[in-house]
Amino acid sequence: MRSIFILFVFLSFSFTAYSQSYAFGVKGGLTASFQKWNNFERDPLYAYHAITFIESAPEDNEFALFAQLGYHVKGSAIRNQNFFNPINGQIFRPPTRKFEFRNISLTLGGKQKYDWGVNNKFYYLFGFRGDYTVDTNFEQYADINEALNTLFYPVDNFLRRWNYGATVGGGAEFPVSDYISAIIELTVNPDFSRQYFQPPVPNVLDPYTGQTRTLRETEIRNVTFEISVGFRFLHEIEYIDVQF
């Protein structure tokens, strides 16, 4: 995580040093996260994200390179499913169980911008992303795993902390003043690598059915949809030709 932050700071200084003008800002919003566990789709996890970014601002303002650093909660959920308990013959509805991966993400990419109306712009973007998982919520399920003496729920031991993927999307800029714009953005963010990998586990007691079974290997990949709102601040540099 420290190396990601250092790289973001380096890129920020690069924009300010080699670009005549640049823009920076903050954005954040809602995340809908989806995971496939061995090609089995879990329920989506609804969470949040927060991002700071910096981008080039050439005179034509049509294409920009950007770097952004963000905090993203990814994962999945199991919610509102009825189960039959063969031990007591009753049907019960367990509480929603959420599986959270709390990631720091660094994304590098480009934006292609187009005029929309008099002053507004819309754009599409593409970037490559590197993630580092700083934390999970797996400790909530440690007691269940311990009681069953198995790995029915994920554990941090099989977590892949470093991951990579892409970010694709688009958005719009709405000027508030000469140097401030409001932004709204929608992106899809698939991972190319595995967030979690656990080998097969035999003789697992299923807490919902009371029967033992073998858990197949668990392979988890992330894909998220994010909607963001925020502000973009333009730092414009003008050169004055002074004649002596």
| CA dist., res. 186 & res. 163, Å (int) | 22
pLDDT exceeds cutoff 90 at 24: yes
Q: Which residue has the higher pLDDT, 156 or 90?
A: 156
| CA dist., res. 96 & res. 146, Å (int) | 20
Q: Which residue has the higher pLDDT, 81 or 177?
A: 177
pLDDT at 21: 82
- Domains of the chain are 2-235 (2.40.160.20)
Taking only the tens place, the pLDDT of each residue in 59-105 is 777 899 999 999 999 999 987 666 666 666 677 667 788 999 999 99
pLDDT at 15: 58
Q: Which residue has the higher pLDDT, 40 or 101?
A: 101
Cβ within 8 Å of residue 87, ≥6 positions away: 210
pTM of the model: 0.80
**Widest CA span in the chain:** 96
Structure tokens at 51: 């991002």
Confidence of residue 235 (pLDDT cuts 50, 70, 90): confident
pLDDT exceeds cutoff 80 at 182: yes
| CA dist., res. 143 & res. 124, Å (int) | 46
State residue 239 phi and psi, 5-degree precision.
-100, 130
DSSP string covering the chain: -HHHHHHHHHHHHHHHHH-SSEEEEEEEEEEEEEEEETTEEPBPEEEEEEEEEEEE--TT-SEEEEEEEEEEEEEEEE-S--EEETTTTEEE-PPPEEEEEEEEEEEEEEEEEEEETTTEEEEEEEEEEEEEEEEESGGGGHHHHHHHTS-SS--GGGB--EEEEEEEEEEEEEESSSSEEEEEEEEEEEBSS-SEEE--EEEEEPTTT--EEEEPPEEEEEEEEEEEEEEEEEE---------
Q: Are 201 and 216 in contact (CB under 8 A)?
A: no
pLDDT at 5: 59
pLDDT at 244: 52
Cα four-point dihedral sign 17, 21, 26, 32: negative
